[in-house]
Structure 1
Amino acid sequence: MRSVKLLVVLGLVTAAAVGCGTETTSGGDKVRDGGTAADQERARQVAAAWEGSEAARVWQRGYYPLGDAVQLPEGAFHDDADKRAYITQNFELRGSLPETPVKKGKIRWPGGDSLAVPVASARAAYEKLDRGGNPGPALTVTGARLADMTLLTSRGAATVPAWHFTIKGYDTPLKRVAVTPSKLPRPPIEPVPRQTAELGPLAGLDTVAEDGRTLTLRAQHGACDDGPAVDVLETGGSVVFSASIRGVSDGPCTDNLLIEKVTVKLDRPVGDRMLLDAFTGRPVPYEQPHATSPTWS
């Protein structure tokens, strides 16, 4: 795959679900639209490497968000100016923020598990929102209080400490996560030595639907092909995605690298299974609206 520069294509129509092709099984695992034999073998190697590994144990104990760090006020946005202000990260502080530091907070999962984590200050959380600094329209923040918000994580939905910012003109707050994701474990398997037309890295995870089975991924392809495909290997402890490109042209082509959304539907909800990239051998990075989640930095 040629990758001289990255061109993110906005407004692409989500590709059709991948889970409608052929199925093969091996030891209770299921492969759908399994790609080449080499791709299937690589996916199984990744799943086997993570199963029972120290990296998997670290992952299962940590906090790795799979949802946006920001939840908007109800009814957002009132007009195009407010929407533009949020997209461009243009905020204005007209009030005071709590100065008393909160040293520790807890992330809680429905099953009773919890994790003690440091809590960022209101000022630090606000500065992650206000990165625009342009003369355009701005959302006005008049205050903040520490509470919580519900967020999808690698261990399912969790209650996470969050700063609730009061936004002028809105009855409910804008919520911003107040904790930092856990450090990523060292992967138990190396990435594929070189990128090929048959297998490449995913650009990221876009969304997980409420049913827990429908996932939208961001896949890469070039300007002279038939688009990306994503094959799936489901096991008891992981879901491994193998990204490839369909119909690559051998003729002259520009060097643009495009990003397209591809939707896959699993046989059962993700739950606490790891979402892994066959090419990198790592968890699939979650993409936030403005940047990659700090989970993956």
Structure 2
Amino acid sequence: MRTYTRRTVDLFLVLALGAATAGALAGCGGGPRAGSHPAHASEARAREVAEAWDGSDAARVWRTGYHPVGDLVQLPDHAFRSDADKRAYGSGTFVLEGELPDAPREPGRVEWENGDSLTLPVLGARRAYEQVARGGDEEPHLTVTGARLGEMTVATTRGPATVPAWLFTLKGYDTPLRRVALDSSKTPGPPIGAAGEVPTDQLAPLHGLVGTARDGRSVTVTAGHGSCDDGPAVDVLETKGSVVLSGYVKGTDDGPCTSDLRLQAVTVKLDRPLGDRLLLDAFTGRPVTTDERKGEAQKGS
């Protein structure tokens, strides 16, 4: 069944991300290139988005903010000690034993390797904990016994940065689980609106950034598809100032099917490292940002 996507996707989420840590290409065969499917209109749209952002006020604002593109969680050394613990982390099954600190009154500092810095409010440990844990005391689970404020290094659109992080003590582990203690900077309003009504086999919105390879030569995003197709794919258009991703659905079926939305990790290879180029969604016209809740827990599955 050929479906259409408007500015919002009114579909029921039935499947979370697959195992993104493996870096497997989910249906994109080594990184699809722009124009690899019949919907040439998607390439034209990608160019419109790239041109709108190039030199715009929104791009200048974006480049002065804190926008992570890597893992927001750093696992304990030698994690995990068992497959059960790995499954518990992947499902977000944690038990809290003890109190967690409130947010400090003083702001936290983001410090980049080139000497640039930025101050932002620090999240309370409870809020950071809830970004990783969904709760539940079923087995298997991980047990958090406390937390203290420390720091960690995270990949951002401006390069690696040292940021405040909550260091959660896990029962049975000698080193903590670290989680970034900051929210990203506010995303500026885009210089171009979202695409109108368009078939999903030509263009569809992406659902978040999972992560960027250490060498910057590939990015992994979540893309949606339905129950009567061959899965999602993502084309890429690279320019000097941006990388525009165009999601679409392959092999749509005209037969009857349900209207559920399934999310899948798709890794896209780039011709050169992402660097400080903007990562943009051709459908929405907006930057592709880290899914701060779903992206992390699913990486441990």
Same fold (TM over 0.5): yes
List gaps (5 residues or longer) in structure 1: 22-30
Which structure 2 residues correspond to residues 36-75 of structure 1 after superposition, within 5 A?
36-75=39-78
CA contact (8 A) 1:285 1:292 kept: no
Q: Does 1:244 align with 2:257?
A: no
Identity %: 54
SS at match of 1:231: strand
Quick one: which of 260, 264, 269 aligns to 1:265? 269
Check 1:35–1:204 CA distance in 2 against 1; reply closer, same or farther (3 A cut): farther
The structural deviation recorded for 1:100 is 8.2
Moved more, 67-76 or 268-277: 67-76
Higher RCO, Cα 8 Å, sep 6+:
2
The structural deviation recorded for 1:291 is 6.0
SS at match of 1:203: strand
Check 1:207–1:55 CA distance in 2 against 1; reply closer, same or farther (3 A cut): same
Quick one: which of 71, 76, 79 aligns to 2:79? 76
Q: Does 1:167 align with 2:170?
A: yes
For the residues of structure 2 that align with 1:44 and 1:34, how far apart are their CA atoms? 16
Q: Does 1:120 align with 2:123?
A: yes
Moved more, 200-209 or 187-196: 200-209
Q: Does 1:5 align with 2:5?
A: no
Letter in 1 for 2:184: P
Check 1:278–1:213 CA distance in 2 against 1; reply closer, same or farther (3 A cut): same
Letter in 2 for 1:5: F
Letter in 2 for 1:282: R
Corresponding residue pairs, total: 282
For the residues of structure 2 that align with 1:164 and 1:103, how far apart are their CA atoms? 18
SS at match of 2:254: coil
Which structure 2 residues correspond to residues 169-184 of structure 1 after superposition, within 5 A?
169-184=172-187
Quick one: which of 231, 237, 253 aligns to 1:233? 237
CA contact (8 A) 1:68 1:288 kept: no
SS at match of 2:199: coil
Identify the residue that residue 141 of structure 1 maps to in structure 2.
144
Q: Does 1:214 align with 2:239?
A: no
CA contact (8 A) 1:238 1:273 kept: yes
Cα RMSD, aligned residues only? 2.7
How big is each residue's C-alpha offset from its partner over 1:17-41, in whole Å with a ceiling of 9 and x where there is no partner?
A: 234x5xxxxxxxxx56375332222
For the residues of structure 1 that align with 2:172 and 2:288, how far apart are their CA atoms? 38
For the residues of structure 2 that align with 1:154 and 1:69, how far apart are their CA atoms? 14
The structural deviation recorded for 1:292 is 8.8
The structural deviation recorded for 1:273 is 0.8
SS at match of 1:253: coil
For the residues of structure 2 that align with 1:223 and 1:84, how far apart are their CA atoms? 26
SS at match of 1:17: coil
Check 1:157–1:8 CA distance in 2 against 1; reply closer, same or farther (3 A cut): same
Letter in 1 for 2:235: D
Quick one: which of 30, 41, 54 aligns to 1:17? 30
Letter in 2 for 1:53: S
For the residues of structure 2 that align with 1:9 and 1:101, how far apart are their CA atoms? 33
CA contact (8 A) 2:15 2:263 kept: yes
For the residues of structure 2 that align with 1:51 and 1:239, how far apart are their CA atoms? 11
Q: Does 1:106 align with 2:119?
A: no
Identify the residue that residue 286 of structure 2 maps to in structure 1.
282
Check 1:72–1:45 CA distance in 2 against 1; reply closer, same or farther (3 A cut): same
Structure (1 or 2) with the larger CA radius of gyration: 1
Check 1:93–1:126 CA distance in 2 against 1; reply closer, same or farther (3 A cut): farther
Which structure 2 residues correspond to residues 177-192 of structure 1 after superposition, within 5 A?
177-192=180-195
For the residues of structure 1 that align with 2:168 and 2:104, how far apart are their CA atoms? 16
Letter in 1 for 2:50: A
The structural deviation recorded for 1:45 is 0.8
For the residues of structure 2 that align with 1:210 and 1:291, how far apart are their CA atoms? 17
For the residues of structure 1 that align with 2:211 and 2:113, how far apart are their CA atoms? 21
List gaps (5 residues or longer) in structure 2: 5-9
Letter in 2 for 1:83: K
How big is each residue's C-alpha offset from its partner over 1:181-229, in whole Å with a ceiling of 9 and x where there is no partner?
A: 1111111111011132311111222221112112222222222233323
For the residues of structure 2 that align with 1:70 and 1:152, how far apart are their CA atoms? 11
Letter in 2 for 1:210: R
For the residues of structure 1 that align with 2:265 and 2:295, how far apart are their CA atoms? 16
SS at match of 1:161: strand
CA contact (8 A) 1:35 1:231 kept: no
For the residues of structure 2 that align with 1:275 and 1:148, how far apart are their CA atoms? 26
